[in-house]
Amino acid sequence: MKLLFLGDVVGKVAREKVINSIPMLRDKLSLDIVIVNGENAAGGFGITSEICKQFFDSGIDVITGGNHSWDQSGIIEYIEKEPRLLRPLNHVKGTPGRGYYFYNTFDGKKILIINLIGQVFMKPIENPFLSVDDCLKSSNLGKTVDLIFVDFHAEATSEKMAMAQFLDGRVSAVIGSHQQIPTADSQILDKGTAYQTDAGMCGDYNSVIGMQKDVPINRFLGKISKDRFRPAGGDATICGVVIETSEETGLAKKITPLRLGGRLNEEWPT
């Protein structure tokens, strides 16, 4: 099977570019499933029900979240009703929404998508290693489920790589999000799990991780600023990864970065 994951969609220009590009990407890459991290899609902070509907209508199958999942009003009610919009699995018990979703393809294949959030340099939350370990007890890759994808939304590269090594051979792919810069370490680990530390953002890279430059620069300079962060509005680059898996085992056969448009050098799966 073939899966596309796009990293954090930041703001309107990125959102529109992703929505307009998904039909072409599905067709040219013969994709079985498209997963997008949407936690920055609404003005750089959170996501709304309207944006989710636009994403789903464009051909996106599942939306993952992160530390900004709850930033927009009304999303709590929507996430309770929409199982395709995920929040991190390792939130405390009783948190609205779901941390995983089973997606069934048109030809009867079963895909498990898991959304996790890290602990290092993030707000205190349940242990992601224990949470995902518990979640996988009822899902056996290659037997009860055909593909297992993990979006690990974390700050520390060491925590992301540790998670991938922890899950190597048990899931098809562990791909990092949140840092919003595409890393150059796409690989298949020893036991067959595809990994990349960060997929990168979908957004304007003439920015500070998707935001207009002045406010974050002034904050680093120690200047007091009443202005809030606003997404940059230039031409967006779409960033993500394409993963191909074995029909027999569910493990990864190939992982290729995807970059399209904007300032970054393009990369297209062959």
Q: Residue 57's domain is classified under what CATH number?
A: 3.60.21.10
Average the pLDDT over 214-240 and give the result: 91
Does residue 268 lie in a domain region? no
Residue range 58-96, pLDDT digits in tens: 999 999 999 999 999 999 999 999 999 999 999 999 999
Is residue 68 flagged as an active site residue?
Answer: yes
Average the pLDDT over 222-234 and give the result: 88
Does residue 270 lie in a domain region? no
Does residue 255 lie in a domain region? yes
Beta-bridged to residue 147, according to DSSP, are 111
Does residue 266 lie in a domain region? no
- Domain limits for position 90: 2-260
What is the rounded distance in angstroms from the CA atom of residue 203 to the CA atom of residue 170? 32
Does residue 267 lie in a domain region? no
What is the rounded distance in angstroms from the CA atom of residue 245 to the CA atom of residue 234? 35
- Which one from 68, 91, 153, 178 is the annotated catalytic residue? 68
pLDDT at 226: 75
For residue 57, give Cα distances in angstroms to 86, 132, 183.
17, 30, 30
Does residue 50 lie in a domain region? yes
For residue 242, give Cα distances in angstroms to 2, 15, 34.
7, 19, 9
Does residue 136 lie in a domain region? yes
**Residues contacting residue 108 through CB under 8 Å, at least 6 positions apart:** none
Kindly state the percentage of the chain with pLDDT values over 90: 96
Does residue 265 lie in a domain region? no
What is the rounded distance in angstroms from the CA atom of residue 97 to the CA atom of residue 104? 20
242 and 32 in contact (C-beta within 8 Å)? no
pLDDT at 125: 93
What is the rounded distance in angstroms from the CA atom of residue 189 to the CA atom of residue 260? 26
* pTM assigned to the model: 0.96
CA-based nearest residue to 143, from 33, 249, 244, 253: 249
Q: How many domains does the chain have?
A: 1
